[in-house]
Structure 1
């Protein structure tokens, strides 16, 4: 999506997406255009062994389609919907240079915002220091999403592990190339340093825009919370539509059996 999460946004091969395109433009504050896009891409990728293999997963480590559809689809839809909201607020992020080869800055900003939805990040203090080795950067909880890596504790733990690894697997659905980029050079300090270097190249107005989603003022935290809440609503809307389609299909088969 938007040349980041997936190179091809083709029509989904799994039933359940088509109805999204006929729904109202906005349902319960959900952008149905965004939801349709992420539903198509997530149903394609979450159930695809090739998608996981491009990140380095081995055959025995790839989750089954049943597990992926039942437990992982929501992570994908929420993360990608979150990302689309971020770049809709700050479209210029997409055109900026990559933080590292294969690691778009637009994704880094989204990951940092999603990982710190309800908490302070202390990222600004680190950025002011302009030194990834500084104490301010060491203390910046908000940067843990970048400095801890995207696959920690093994591939299998990404899908069956604890809450920390659950957050990491959401990242893999937002940006598979970021997983590859990090694993090629797993240095937390390098990740933070790359972000600092990118941030210092921005115009003052752009820096303020970035901090409007990564900062610690209440309005900035509220911005993250609002984006996350809409992503949650998008997943709820998707499940409601899918459940309705399932019930309608059951009813159709009953009528067909009875010759009605």
Structure 2
């Protein structure tokens, strides 16, 4: 099942490395010669032939109320992870809100299918272990383009392992964890359809993706109040999460 993708990926790396357009030295991206062909593979193979077609079909056959309920349900499942990270970051308000959200939505909200907590003014606080490491003073590390997952950094890759493997395993089985991850990837891709034009019209999509990723990480690390505000014009801050 995976052999065609591995072969295609190997071909992209081998054939692409000799003609990779290298930008001016970027200290954040020392692995650019490897990252660029992986980006091409993600976009030209995985997104074009798998993720986007699946997402288009999902949007076409799934009513919006059902989609909203599924989003609420998966968000509620991962809310305890947000609460744990809020505690590790020393954010008692976020800890309290996320804990209250989980209790309310898991009961009154019918296992999280309905976001009752938001109607009570308890808005979701997204806290991940990558942010936790940042709060603890850990630097980004090298920029990474991961096959099938998209942009990351050494710090955030470590955070993703903790958030998506270590902590969920406390309450979820491995198949359930994979199912949640797959659904979030499809739903996030659906929300990004409107942003495709910006990516395609950029002079260098690879650099565009990288710059937006770092801006978004800075925005999240400082809870929406970064010391230097650098946001791309007319651009959704959720872009690129699962490209």
TM-score (norm 2): 0.26
Structure with more relative contact order (C-alpha pairs < 8 Å, separation 6 or more)? 1
TM-score (norm 1): 0.25
